[in-house]
Structure 1
């Protein structure tokens, strides 16, 4: 079993209407990835889909995939393609519950956003994870 040091939150950097299938297709065809970018993806309606077993790494953050669990919500950009927290209330509720469950499973893991890693020039997940953890009493 791999040691999990991080629970990383992401956005798909798509419109909230994107489908899981279109995201998977993009990874396979454009990125040529065999494995998905996240372990879990949260649809706009709050449905949580498991894309990769937790025992296997996914392609979430270069150099940190072996020791991380990756969670994403569909969305994260506005109509012009600029970073924006587009989480629906259902996605927020689902993300909070999933993060709480993962933290119980991996109590020493640090919860952070993709953008919180060194040398990551992205806004992902388009919200401040540390502030969200406090504001929503996630832990």
Structure 2
């Protein structure tokens, strides 16, 4: 599996509530998916939790799952400094493994989506 995209998502949950990778896994199973679609989840306090193993194809962005890794920020549009710090760490590790991969938001790959509700490319360039 050649990774060409590193995709940032949000859980689209209230910004004042924390959820876990296990919670998201349950939501995805309830939709009759095989389990959590993201490879990493970043909780409100910046804790990085594992989702789907990185060697498994994700289920997070239609048409791009085979060649991407997905990370989900818990919240809707107000992410904590700790979350953004952890996001930078996750993306840096992934870029080290996949140096040619493009960093983008879900919305950059699906015009019907607003997730993660900020411009990931602009944020990454400034971080």
TM-score normalized by structure 1? 0.85
Matched residue, 1:110: 102
The offset of 1:124, in angstroms, is 0.4
Structure 2 unaligned runs (5+)? Answer: none
Aligned 1:8-87 pairs, distance under 5 A = 8-16=7-15, 17-20=17-20, 21-29=22-30, 31-76=31-76, 84=77, 86-87=78-79
The answer to which structure has the higher helix fraction is 2
Distance 1:94 1:23 in 2: 18
Summarize deviations over 1:56-107 as a string: whole Å, max 9, x none.
012110111010000110001xxxxxxx2x1111101000111011101100
Q: How many positions carry a matched residue from both structures?
A: 125
Structure 1 unaligned runs (5+)? Answer: 77-83
TM-score normalized by structure 2? 0.93
Matched residue, 1:7: 6
Please tell me whether Structure 1 or Structure 2 has the larger radius of gyration of its CA atoms: 1
Q: Which runs of 4+ in 1 moved over 3 A?
A: none
